[in-house]
Amino acid sequence: MKKNTKTTRVIPGFHLTLGITIAMLSLIVLIPLASVMVKSLQLSPAEFWRLITKKNVLYAFGTSIVCSFIAAVINLVFGLILAWTLVRYDFKGKRILDGFIELPFALPTAVAGITLSKLYSETGWFGKPLAALGIKVAYTHLGLIIALVFVGIPFVVRAVQPVLEKLDGQYEEAAYILGATPAQTFFKVILPELRPALLTGFGLAFARGIGEYGSVIYISGNSAKEHTQVISYVIMQKLNYIDYASATAIAFVMLVISFVILFLINIVQMRQSRRTNML
């Protein structure tokens, strides 16, 4: 409420762009998603509950959420290290490394999926030596987590990088002069500044992981018995069996989960911008 809300807008095109944006958003995104919501709400609560609490559905939810969470935690650690290295240090080949961070965004998920599955299968470059050590990766939860680390890593790195670049060196100098050890400086001065960016990256990687399909279905093996089915796979399976009631009910729960995560990320970001505005 800084200005009188009745001020005329100087720049033209407000109504036109507002109209186009809302019309296209509604047609392409909102109405189709609303259709899923409405369809799932047509089920009676008891039926809805029965469909989403079927054993294999619950296992799939558990697998998706737990594996995505573990992968997001791994990405949080490595994402921070990668962002730190790429921003703070200068070394040969840094730009190429930086470029590779983009690979999971640029590579089609199905291609990533078959490649990882092949690499970690018992005849693959990684799978063979690991199998010799007695570690089975492909068609296990471990494989699933590796695929999710692959797709999630750029989210954390790209969220942290810009913040780290802008971070003022003064604070670190002040901490140093006041006698803080490097570890103290990092945990008490730098990390708190990075927390919103880290949380955003974590949230994005986690949300992406829960809904991930193409990159995980090949390496996971999709076994109901071993609980390696992810929730997206179960929806696709229901669609193929024309079991639309189950598919929409599961999708409804997933939509709620992603909206909650999206909402939390938004809160983190709003707090962050409020803080930077105050500074």
Partner 1 sequence: MTEQEKLERQSKRTRMILIAVSVLFIFLMLVVPLAAIVVNSLKEGFGFYIQAITTEYVRNALKVTLIATIIAVVVNTFFGICAAWLLTKFSFKGKQVLATLIDIPFSISPVIVGLAFLMTFGRLGWTYPAIRAINQWLGTNFRIAFAIPGVVIATIFVTFPYVSREIIPVLNAQGKDEEEAAALMGAKGLKIFFKITFPQIKWALIYGIILCTSRALGEFGAVNALSKTRGETFTLPLEIDALYMSGTDVSITSAFAVSSILVIIAIIIMVVRNILEHRSNKKMEKGEA
The verdict on 115 binding partner 1 (CB under 8 A) reads yes
The smaller minimum CB distance to partner 1, of residues 150 and 202, is found at: 150
Q: Which of residues 212-271 bind partner 1 (CB under 8 A)?
A: 212-214, 218, 231-232, 235-236, 239, 244, 247-248, 251, 254-255, 258, 261-262, 266, 270
Q: Which of residues 154-213 bind partner 1 (CB under 8 A)?
A: 182, 204, 207-208, 210-213
- Answer for which of 58, 110, 174, 224 binds partner 1 (CB under 8 A) is 110
- Answer for which of 95, 170, 177, 279 binds partner 1 (CB under 8 A) is 95
Rg (CA), the chain: 23
User: Least Å distance between CB 50 and partner 1?
Assistant: 19
- Residues 6 or more apart whose CB falls under 8 angstroms from that of 176 comprise 185
What's the CA angle centered on 213, arms 54 and 211, to 5 degrees?
Answer: 65
The verdict on 140 binding partner 1 (CB under 8 A) reads no
- Answer for which of 33, 174, 191, 256 binds partner 1 (CB under 8 A) is 33
- Residues 6 or more apart whose CB falls under 8 angstroms from that of 238 comprise 244, 246, 247, 250
Kindly tell me the sign of the dihedral angle through the C-alpha atoms of 32, 37, 43, 47. Answer: positive
Kindly tell me the sign of the dihedral angle through the C-alpha atoms of 105, 262, 47, 28. Answer: negative
The smaller minimum CB distance to partner 1, of residues 49 and 105, is found at: 105
Q: Which residues of 48-82 are buried (b: 16+ CB within 10 A; e: fewer)?
A: beebbeeeebebbbebbbebbbbbbebbbeebbeb
The verdict on 119 binding partner 1 (CB under 8 A) reads yes
The smaller minimum CB distance to partner 1, of residues 73 and 119, is found at: 119
The smaller minimum CB distance to partner 1, of residues 127 and 140, is found at: 127
